Structure formats: structure tokens, C-alpha cells
Chains A and B, each alone.
Chain A
Amino acid sequence: GENVEQHPSTLSVQEGDSAVIKCTYSDSASNYFPWYKQELGKRPQLIIDIRSNVGEKKDQRIAVTLNKTAKHFSLHITETQPEDSAVYFCAAKLQGGSEKLVFGKGTKLTVNP
């Protein structure tokens, strides 16, 4: 089945700097890759997603890039703010069959003021 690896597990940056989180997936049939932000004790919130027919997607300070050949995708946050501090999860979904998402282990991002 699909396996998603996420790095780093923790990331600390200064306010205003950029943060990059990387994920790799194992099944080339995966075609949907969302990123979720989860604050302590809260629900995961979708922040951006990308499909396999697109190489890059941007939404204000957040961008996601996808390299299908290498089977990896990355989350980029620019001009980080303290409120960006949270745990970020990447996920992958196989095309066809089950609708389930396979999640990475998460990255705890801390933005220091």
C-alpha cells in the first residue's frame, strides 16, 4: 500500500523566515496531495492541496510543489508568523479504489517572534 514519509519532524524558524516541509510517497498511482494544519487539541484544517496534473500551486504565503517523477511534494510557507506555529501533516490519496488518505507523521513548526 501507499506509504508517506514526512521531514523534518520538528522545525523552528524566526518570524519572517520561510519554512519548507517535504514529503515523499511510494505509490505512483497517488494523484491527490493535501496539506493539513493542526493546532493543539483542534481539528486538522486543510490549508492547500494539489493534484497530480499540476506541478505547483500557490495561495498567498503558502505554496505546494509536486515532483511526480521523484514522488515527492513540499509545502512552502513564506514570511512566517507566530500564528503559523502548529503541526502540519501531508497526505496522499490513491487514484481510484478507496477514498482514504495516507498521512505523514507530521511536522511541528514553531515560529519564534
Chain B
Amino acid sequence: QVQLQESGPGLVKPSGTLSLTCAVSGGSISSSNWWTWVRQPPGKGLEWIGDIYHSGSTTYSPSLKSRLTISADKAKNQFSLYLRSLTAADTAVYYCVRGGDRNYAGGNYYYMDVWGKGTTVTVS
């Protein structure tokens, strides 16, 4: 089955750039899925960051769009997040996630069904 593994620095400086990579195993990043990033600040809820479709098209959270880039490397079967101009508010656990959809009752229903274990990022 598909597994996802995040990697990247645990500590980054304010105003710096966060670079995280998600390695996909047991499946192909070229499959018809959305390869997604979600984060969770300490003690708080989940925030969708953005995703990249297998075609290469990206969708970003409006609140992060100006600082965010998500890209994919099909040769390495991985995708990456780059978040610029970091502040303490970006401190969180970052999850890479597979988004999928299913046709049901005439509609295409999107969901996030495979999650990495998460990586903790502290901005300080």
C-alpha cells in the first residue's frame, strides 16, 4: 500500500525558507491523485496548505499563496513544499497526504486517505 514519509529540517530561522520533501512508496506520484500538504500548529487543529495534481497543476491556500510553492519530481517519486518568509506562526507539524476522489451518486467526492507520520518544524 502507498506510504508517505516527510523529511526536512526540524528547526528553521525566522524570515528563512522551509523546504520539506515527501517520499512516496508503494505507488506512483503519477497516479490520479492530489499530493497534498497539511499542517497542525502545537495544540491546534488542521490547516490545508495546498496540493499538486498528477498533471502538475497546483492549488494553494489563499492565506499562504504568496509564500508557497509545491512541486513534484516524478523521477524520484516525491513532492516538495517550499514556504518562504517564515515566522513563529509557521511552527507546526507538517503532514504530506494523498488526496483522492471517488465517484458516488453522480458526484466526485474528494478526501485525504493516506497520511505521512508528520514532521515537526519549529521557527526560531
B is bound to A: no
Chain B residues within 8 Å of A, Cβ to Cβ: none
